[in-house]
Amino acid sequence: MPDDAFGFARVVSSDEAADYLSSLAQNLTLGDVRLESGGRVLQLVPPAELKLDLRVRHSEGKSELLLRLAWKHRVLAVIADLCVESGPSSPTP
C-alpha cells in the first residue's frame, strides 16, 4: 500500500459500523479527519464541498453498500509567499 493510502477492514456489529460513520461525519463537519490503525496515521483536511458517490449492490445472498468521498486538494498559501512592505512616505507640507 502506498504511503498516502490507508486501509482498514474487519467484521463489526451494525452499532460499531454506525459509530465509525458517526465519528467520520463529525470530523468531516469539522474539516479534519484523522485515521489511525496499527500504528499507521493519516490526517485528511477535506474542503467544504466533496463528491459523494453512493452505490448499493443487492443480490439474493449478499448486499453491499459502497460509500466514496472524493475532493481535490486545496492550494494553501504559504506564509513565506506573503511580503508586506511600506511604500515611500510622502513628505508632509
Would you place residue 85 in the very low, low, confident or very high pLDDT band (cuts 50, 70, 90)? confident
The number of angstroms, rounded, from the C-alpha of 55 to the middle of its chain's C-alpha atoms is 20
How does the average pLDDT of the chain come out, rounded?
A: 85
Provide the grid cell at 23: 465519528
Q: Determine the pLDDT at residue 77.
A: 58
Task: Calculate what percentage of the chain has a pLDDT beyond 90.
Answer: 56
Q: How far is residue 34's CA from residue 42's CA, in Å, rounded to a whole number?
A: 6
CA-CA-CA-CA torsion sign (26, 27, 28, 30): positive
